[in-house]
Structure 1
């Protein structure tokens, strides 16, 4: 498998020099879309970015993207129902976050999941989840999705046209990653968990994303280790953490009760290349605050043989 894309979005440029741009990170949202199976481990939905993309080309990713100004539009409040900015800040565990940003991150998560994966986390006016299983409905919403991509329609206009209400309560904040300071293109990304709603089938957008697949966490990690797919550090570490849970009920219960620590990786050189230390690593030196060492958890991620791998020290 060709792996040129590993250099894009890595910690260093192709010639090995550090990228010293260090711009302020942009807020973003990512959704870990999951489904249970009647037998065996639950699965996570992953999509492959077009290998020609400048950012993480060829990598397998969760649905997600940056926070747009429209995501924080005050008029969106009427499309969300009883979910408030205070609810968003409490669930994100970020009391100092501006209210518009906190609520906007949930909206961005919903929007990106629909744009990139075709899954809409919303409800009918009666309270039932949106069902896209009927062919006519699926075709109509597929057209909406294209209009969103082409910026001929906003998500707010879509839900108003269909009489829907956003369902941010279907999103559970799970992790918080910030791109290392040595990168010029940086994101302040909140990761959310979400179950696949009944009556919906995720499909990659066939534009920025060229393939998609449901994988168990163990299978995704094995494919990455074998070099058959590319998982970048946040995705790799997140999927590794999913191995601790046998079903989504266990995972969601743990996510609702956990403390969400900010993960700002610290880049370092190795004898053969480079890697990143996570905040609970014993040699982590950034002032963001060291986190408790998780039992059995990896503390750093290194590039070995063109593949990102987790390690404990």
Structure 2
């Protein structure tokens, strides 16, 4: 497989992870964090918007790689992260489905009693992956996948999805395709801290890119996206390797905690811990909800995450 290019030497692995971690507040969110602390931390924030993201993995020359993309808009999802975004109302539309049932997904995602919510999370993950990267987790039958999603017609469908002109159900229905929920595995669940202006309740899934497909940028909005060695991305938290790699005015020279959410950072670390993409995908993980809490440490606002 292709690698993400020549990489600097990795930092040595640390020992056992601490029970509590602290994350710096990105520069663009510090004013909101300080305002929240001034008016009294602990007040209930806005209701988080349900969202989904897909962590694609593959084996590279230097280790396990994952596909990251750049977001031009400043959101609590981070400037650099995994393909994903909010759940939409049309994710409820009926479509051909194969793999674990929505009821089984509700169990896997810790949503027992809310099958519709679990189904929307899966559909949104497939939709956003296709919209942002062109990778389509669907096929003409439950045992196969679309071999190619290149060309003007496919890009037109992605653009229509991006502006809400069509639903994933319509895109699949026109081509008589089946959503392959079995190609996804649950990975993590994160809820944005209360202080953020727009919060997300985001479920991370993981998958491999089907044979014959490869990620491509959306013509209208895509700026940067590529396979990145996960270990190198998190090797030096104080360095700017990832920001320099993205090479945008708002990323160059910036540390990873100024570019990515705590959820993205922790998922990257999880990917980096595995020796191969197969090992990463084969590992069964309990989906635990993580919700970083805003507090003051050493005179500045930080996010505190309890990992116990």
The alignment's TM-score, normalised by the length of structure 2, stands at 0.78
Q: Does residue 287 of structure 2 align to residue 260 of structure 1?
A: yes
Q: SS state of the match for residue 65, structure 1?
A: strand
Contact 2:76 2:200 in 1 (8 A): no
Q: SS state of the match for residue 224, structure 2?
A: strand
Question: What is the CA–CA distance in structure 1 between the aligned matches of 2:299 and 2:222, rounded to whole Å?
Answer: 32
Question: Where does the alignment leave 5 or more consecutive residues of structure 1 unmatched?
Answer: 281-290, 292-313
Question: Where does the alignment leave 5 or more consecutive residues of structure 2 unmatched?
Answer: 1-24, 38-42, 244-258
Equivalent in the alignment of 1:246 = 275
Q: How does 1:136-215 map to 2 (within 5 A)?
A: 137-215=150-228
Deviation, structure 1 residue 155: 1.3
Equivalent in the alignment of 2:89 = 69
Equivalent in the alignment of 1:297 = none
Equivalent in the alignment of 2:4 = none
Deviation, structure 1 residue 140: 2.2
More relative contact order, 1 or 2 (CA 8 Å, 6+ apart): 2
Q: Show CA shifts across 1:250-275 (max 9, x none).
A: 11221xx2222110111121225332
Contact 2:64 2:274 in 1 (8 A): no
Residue range with higher mean Cα deviation, 218-227 or 174-183: 218-227
RMSD: 2.4
Contact 2:130 2:136 in 1 (8 A): yes
Number of residue-to-residue matches in the alignment: 263
Contact 2:190 2:290 in 1 (8 A): yes
Contact 1:47 1:61 in 2 (8 A): yes
Question: What is the CA–CA distance in structure 2 between the aligned matches of 1:40 and 1:248, rounded to whole Å?
Answer: 12
Q: Does residue 259 of structure 2 align to residue 237 of structure 1?
A: no
Q: How does 1:1-313 map to 2 (within 5 A)?
A: 6-8=26-28, 10=29, 12-13=30-31, 16-18=34-36, 22-37=45-60, 39-50=61-72, 53-55=73-75, 59-73=79-93, 75-76=94-95, 79-81=96-98, 83-96=100-113, 98-125=114-141, 127-132=143-148, 137-222=150-235, 225-228=238-241, 229=243, 230-254=259-283, 257-271=284-298, 273-280=300-307, 291=308
Query: Structure 1 residues 251 and 44 mapped into 2: Cα distance closer, same or farther (>3 Å)?
Result: same
Contact 2:34 2:301 in 1 (8 A): no
Deviation, structure 1 residue 67: 1.0
Question: What is the CA–CA distance in structure 2 between the aligned matches of 1:139 and 1:224, rounded to whole Å?
Answer: 40
Contact 1:267 1:274 in 2 (8 A): yes
Question: What is the CA–CA distance in structure 2 between the aligned matches of 1:269 and 1:153, rounded to whole Å?
Answer: 45
